Amino acid sequence: MFAANRRTILQMALAAGAAPMLGALPARAASKRAFAPQPSDWRGFQISTAVKLPADRGAAQVWLPVPSLTTDYQRSLDNTFTGNAKTAEIVTDPVTGAQYLHATFEDGVVPELVLTSRFETRNRTIDWTRTTEAHEDPAVLAAALKPSANKPLDGVVAQTAAEITAGAATDLDKVKAIYAWIVAHCYRNLDTPGCGPGDTVATLTSDGLGGKCADLNGLFVGLARASGVPARDVYGVRVAPSEFGFKQLGANTASVTGAQHCRAEVWLSDYGWVAMDPADVLKVMRAETDTWIKDPSDPLVAAVNAALLGNWEGNWVGFNTAEDLALDGRRAALPFLMYPQGTLGDHDLDELDAKAFSYDMTAQEI
């Protein structure tokens, strides 16, 4: 019998249901304007992930990330699923709090599964002129200072962090210095598969310091931790266009199969958890126009660069902040869970090759 989750409506059917028909996402801006997220109302969305695997390849397992965050910028509501799985349940990882749907399938069937998650988001903004006495569980802050498999805090990471933050008087000064260093010295490598592996040492020692969001924001997080500032990645997916007309900062169709995006946040005692996204600054510089913009003071980039230190648009949903996550039934721990995962027999499916996996993700504002 499927285990129940109090935030989940269990709808596992005997046969696979069809994926919900989702309408096209609204175009919120026809041209670019100054990027400046402001406090906003809540917006409701749903995302659906439809999986259909080949038959006769052995027993199958699938793990699908679900929105696990309930914060002042996101309200995770519920998850429903249909399909022909032998077992299926929403699992909550006891260490990280990350949630995912775990389904198993018998050999000989055509494994089919559809997961739909509903949530609300709004813009995340900060007023740097207003401080507050922020509070957080000490265990949460301690976890945000620990090394992980992808983020060792010694060697080249510690050395680079010390060089970047030399002379910084406060945690905020350190964060600003690391953010500016990422934007000035790194770049978005268009040849990196998916969002990148997120290996900070590999990114720091690569030619040109290139990568994608899991690499670049992951490097930001690693450097912050090595500097004594609690920090963490937030793994999720874009679900709607940017209201400011930036193609690279939103999902521009109902299909979001390749729209995964890793953001970051840091803990500052006068502000609490604060949004950060230097990787998206580099994405705008590299890919928003046909010309690679290499100067962050360029008029197209400057407002994005300023805003993404402390703010982000609510056109994205966070799944979790987990690292080194051990999934039920999976042999090896994952460095992070942002993409669907699956196995056929003893073969791990390539989560970055959605067509071969195969899965489709769609999003709809509701």
- Please, which pLDDT band fits residue 24 given cuts at 50, 70 and 90? very low
pLDDT, tens digit (0-9, with 9 covering 90-100), for 252-302: 999 999 999 999 999 999 999 999 999 999 999 999 999 999 999 999 999
pLDDT at 269: 95
pLDDT at 346: 87
pLDDT at 31: 72
pLDDT, tens digit (0-9, with 9 covering 90-100), for 25-60: 443 334 788 999 999 999 999 999 999 998 877 899
Token representation of residue 235: 């793994």
| Structural contact between residues 342 and 349, judged by C-beta atoms closer than 8 angstroms | yes
Q: Is the pLDDT of residue 222 over 70?
A: yes
**Predicted structure pTM score:** 0.91
Q: Return the CATH architecture of domain 138-318.
A: Roll (3.10)
- Please, which pLDDT band fits residue 20 given cuts at 50, 70 and 90? very low
| HSE (side-chain half, CA atoms, 13 Å) at 90 | 24
Residue whose entry in the numeric block shows the structure tokens 């499916």: 349
Class at the top of the CATH hierarchy for domain 8-33+43-122+323-365: mainly beta
pLDDT at 68: 95
pLDDT at 26: 40
pLDDT at 57: 79
Q: Is the pLDDT of residue 13 over 90?
A: no
Q: Is the pLDDT of residue 364 over 60?
A: yes
102-111 CB burial, b ≥16 within 10 A, e <16: bbbbeeebeb
The residue extents of the domains of the chain are 8-33+43-122+323-365, 138-318
When pLDDT is averaged across residues 231-250 and rounded to a whole number, the result is: 98
Q: Is the pLDDT of residue 12 over 90?
A: no
How many whole angstroms separate alpha carbon 319 and alpha carbon 47?
A: 12
356: number of Cβ within 10 Å = 10
| Structural contact between residues 359 and 50, judged by C-beta atoms closer than 8 angstroms | yes
When pLDDT is averaged across residues 12-25 and rounded to a whole number, the result is: 35
pLDDT at 5: 41
- Please, which pLDDT band fits residue 366 given cuts at 50, 70 and 90? very high
pLDDT, tens digit (0-9, with 9 covering 90-100), for 52-90: 998 877 899 999 999 999 999 999 999 999 999 999 999
